[in-house]
Structure 1
Amino acid sequence: MTRGTRRSLLSLALFTLLASTAQAQDTTAPATQATAACGGDLSAFLDGVKTEALARGIPAEAIDRALAGAAIDQKVLSRDRAQGVFKQTFTEFSTRTVSKARLDIGARKMKEYAAVFDRAQSEFGVPAAVITAFWALETDFGAVQGDFNTRNALVTLAHDCRRPELFRPQLIAAIEMVQHGDLDPATTTGAWAGEIGQVQMLPEDIIAFGVDGDGDGHVKLKDSSPDAILTAAKFIQSLGFKAGEPWIQEVSVPDTLPWEKTGLQPGMTAGDWFALGVTPRDGNTAFPQLAASVVIPQGHKGVAFMTYPNFNIYLEWNQSFIYTTSAAYFATRLNGAPPYDAGNPETGLGDDEMKALQTRLQTLGHDVGKIDGILGSGTRAALQKEQQRLGMPADGWATQAVLNAL
């Protein structure tokens, strides 16, 4: 995520950026003052939270009710420190997640809540398919929302000194939700990092973008699908989604494409790509003026997509390239697109080989970030430069041939 303290809709089981960039800090730092930012005595920390909440205008009664019985959840800390890294290929992840069952359920949900989706489209400009794909991937349409006590999860992560600047505001927002009657501190559950409901949003974003879709006077993303659909739509609109514009489409690419121009980099329009022989599989070339990128998740022999400015909202939702591309593709399937042509991609590298490749790229002077075995944006960009130098197709896909050549 890149919008200040917003971290909603992260699908943190898949999202690895926070874990890879967090700097370990001393979680037992002295914190005896009532305004303690993190760490130390829990009662002193909660006193500081109460002082801040009072300054925000939240009544003392609501604050006391929200924090009564608050406790540190060691399982939250364990989950936070044990986040796995995301190393599946696009075909592996998208094949597993964009299943026939999910597509069928998604189609039924769009029909069942057609009136709500019509409202989302008319008020916020976000198509049903875009919302439904996230709904599916986040919680399987509300079936898997997490069983961690939300209040305690946020207390735990705000008290922990790894990322208090992220989670303390979420705890204050959760207290405000208690004031509104939209969160029960004793019974509301969700993901381990504090996300709530069918589209997994953090409290700050629920406060900012919550929509009462069923008219009961509350925003209940756990129980109310209309609330979840419209709140997601308003949030997506805030990320910059433009009504009536595409987000991604599968394309066929010529063997002579300048591969070094592929990837999520600026400077090309859809019309520029069409002139180079890129052809949309659906035949839609109606947006030649829009900025566009051609992305090839598994190299020049695999599937290719053209992404448009609306694709950026996926990167705001979750920074994993594989997750976001899969979510965007899922939405096109719900919108009627056929399954993609996987092509015949070359075999990628295993974990140890990928780390060896990153180490070699780093030795050559490239900034690839952490040596983590993940083919992320930094590694892909560095790899493209070296592939071009070596006279290889500069597609950013890590193979044994590239590793051997380096």
Structure 2
Amino acid sequence: MRPILPALLALCLSSQPSLAACGGGFGSFVQGLKAEAVQRGHAATTVDRFFASVRQDPKVIKADRAQGVFQLDFTTFARRLISQNRVNSGVSNAKKYDRVFDRIEADYGVDRGVLLAFWAFETDYGAFQGDFNTLNALATLAHDCRRPDLFRPQIFAALELFEHGDFDPARTTGAWAGEIGMVQMLPGDIIENGVDGDGDGHVDLKGSAPDALMSGAKMLRHLGWRSNQPWIQEITLPQQMDWSWTGLRTTLTPAEWEKVGVRPRSGRWLSNQPASVIIPQGHKGPAFLAYPNFNVYFEWNQSFTYVLTAAYFATRLQGAPVFDAGNPDPGLSGAQMKQLQKKLSARGYDVGKVDGILGAKTREAVQAVQKQLGLPADAWPTTGLLNRL
């Protein structure tokens, strides 16, 4: 499974205030890249060798446009991704790399479950790391005029890796969005956060699990991960409460949530940090308390459903039970979601792109209109809401 947006696309190494032109002929575009590389101080002969094999890849654009899996609700998505085989492999890899995880927890404060979950979802513990040529993917996406500022700097980061002997422009492969290795990191992130975990003098995220896991941990810490702190905890909800308090915009301490009837599903609260109640399928479905570390997940991936699934799976790998799916009201189909987004947009709500995906902006708009209509403001759109609109 590949993320809805590449891992950490928002972090670009380039300090350039604006990036050069996209579009036009691909050959001319590559010539512009080469000229800029020389201006950045790279030797012309090195630049020629780096770009010698670059080609435009239409399959990359097709993959970028086709991400319908994110229209699934949380329970369906989670059950699809969290197989018993992934659970068993997670337990096995936790034992196999126990010393590596001990180092990670000591140096970066990132729990092993967090990294195991990313490792599982991104590449099935390294078994499938993507077969797209990385340089071709980055150049194709940088040439495409939708997000050139996100991808163009990664080309020059890959050039720097090439100079270090850690990138082969003709043979390095990965995800369609240019991510490399077992935990799928962009070239710029490798330069900034890469760790030589096995001590061989190179950062090899494709072939070395210690390198990949330690690099992922360093990146999470760089993004603001709070050492040895929780990220989510499953909870139970009261029959009635002000559902508009749910969602990431509202934070209360666990003690304050207790006053309105929120309880841990098992055990005790994991922290006294301010946290948010998140109910991905409304007040009748699964429920979790999201601590500050949960927000760091969105720096890795911007899909709410993916992020929550990865965060939950991390707890599962550390002993949490299967979550209680509850009995949520049926959600909307992709076509119905687009219809809802159009209706909300017509009412003046900002839903972002009309794409049939229940993203953050659509959730906020749904919650606002539910409150306006006197419905439970739990941000879960149903056919009843669609009909009311």
Cα deviation, residue 363, structure 1: 2.8
- Residue 81 of structure 2 is matched in structure 1 by 97
- For the Cα contact (< 8 Å) 1:36–1:45, is it kept in 2? no
Contact 2:6 2:177 (C-alpha < 8 Å) held by counterparts: no
Partner of residue 293, structure 1: 276
List per-residue Cα deviations over 1:89-116 (Å, max 9, x = no partner). Answer: 1000101111211011011111101111
SS in 2 for 1:86: helix
- Deviates further, 46-55 or 311-320: 46-55
Residue number among 365, 374, 381 corresponding to 2:348 in the alignment: 365
Q: Would you say 1:225 and 2:209 are equivalent positions? A: yes
Deviation, structure 1 residue 245: 1.2
> For 1:11-90, what aligned pairs fall within 5 Å after superposition?
13-15=2-4, 37-84=21-68, 86-90=70-74
Q: Provide closer, same or farther for how the CA distance between residues 399 and 160 of structure 1 changes in structure 2, counting only shifts above 3 A.
A: closer
Give the superposition deviation at 1:286: 4.6
Task: Give the conservation status (yes or no) of the 8 Å contact 1:266–1:291.
Answer: no
Q: Distance in 2 between matches of 1:225 and 1:204?
A: 19
Q: Tell me the residue number matched to 1:241.
A: 225
What is the one-letter code of the residue matched to 1:118? Answer: D
Determine if the alignment matches structure 1 residue 328 to structure 2 residue 311.
Answer: yes
Larger deviation: 268-277 or 72-81? 72-81
Taking structure 2 as the reference length, the TM-score comes to 0.92
Q: Which moved more, 1:69-78 or 1:325-334?
A: 69-78
CA RMSD of aligned residues (A): 2.0
Q: Corresponding residue for 1:186? A: 170
Task: Specify whether residues 82 and 281 from structure 1 end up closer, same or farther in structure 2 by C-alpha distance, changes over 3 A only.
Answer: closer
Moved more, 41-50 or 248-257: 41-50
Structure 1 residue 315: deviation in Å?
A: 1.1
1:114-159 per-position Cα deviation (integer Å, ceiling 9, x unaligned): 1111111111111111011000000101111111111222222223
Q: 2:357 aligns with which of 350, 374, 378?
A: 374
Q: Which residue of structure 2 lines up, in the alignment, with residue 24 of structure 1?
A: none
Query: Residue by residue, what CA displacement relative to the aligned partner does 1:160-202 show, whole Å, maximum 9, x if unpaired?
Result: 3332212111111111111111111121111122111111111
Determine if contact 2:231/2:291 at 8 Å carries over to the other structure.
yes
Q: TM-score under structure 1 normalisation?
A: 0.88
**Aligned position for 1:202:** 186
The change in CA–CA distance for 1:204 and 1:297 in structure 2 (over 3 A counts) is same
Tell me the equivalent position of 1:115. 99
Where does the alignment leave 5 or more consecutive residues of structure 1 unmatched?
Answer: 1-10, 19-34
- Name which of structure 1's ranges 113-122 and 153-162 shifts more when overlaid on structure 2: 153-162
What does residue 14 of structure 2 align with?
none
Task: Supply the AA of the counterpart residue of 1:394.
Answer: A
Change over 3 Å in CA distance of 1:338–1:359 after alignment to 2? same
- The answer for the alignment partner of 2:334 in structure 1 is 351
Alignment size in residue pairs: 378
Query: Cα gap change, 1:285/1:160 in structure 2, threshold over 3 Å: closer, same or farther?
Result: closer
1:385 aligns with 2:354: no
Identify the match of residue 268 of structure 1 among 252, 256, 259: 252
Distance 1:360 1:81, change over 3 A: closer
Whether the 8 Å CA contact 1:85–1:374 is kept in 2: the answer is no
- State the SS of the aligned residue for 1:237: helix
- Structure 2 partner of 1:174: 158
Partner of 1:283: 267
* Aligned counterpart for 1:150 among listed residues 134, 137, 140: 134
Q: 1:23 aligns to what?
A: none
Aligned amino acid, residue 222 of structure 2: S
For the residues of structure 1 that align with 2:247 and 2:300, how far apart are their CA atoms?
19
Q: Does residue 399 in structure 1 map to residue 382 in structure 2? A: yes
* SS of equivalent to 1:297: coil
Code of the aligned partner of 1:191: A
Supply the distance in 2 between the matched residues of 1:328 and 1:223 (Cα, whole angstroms): 25
Sequence identity of aligned pairs in percent?
Answer: 56
Match of 2:195 among 206, 211, 229: 211
Q: Secondary structure of the residue that 1:165 maps to in structure 2?
A: helix
* CA distance in 1: counterparts of 2:151 and 2:369, whole angstroms: 40
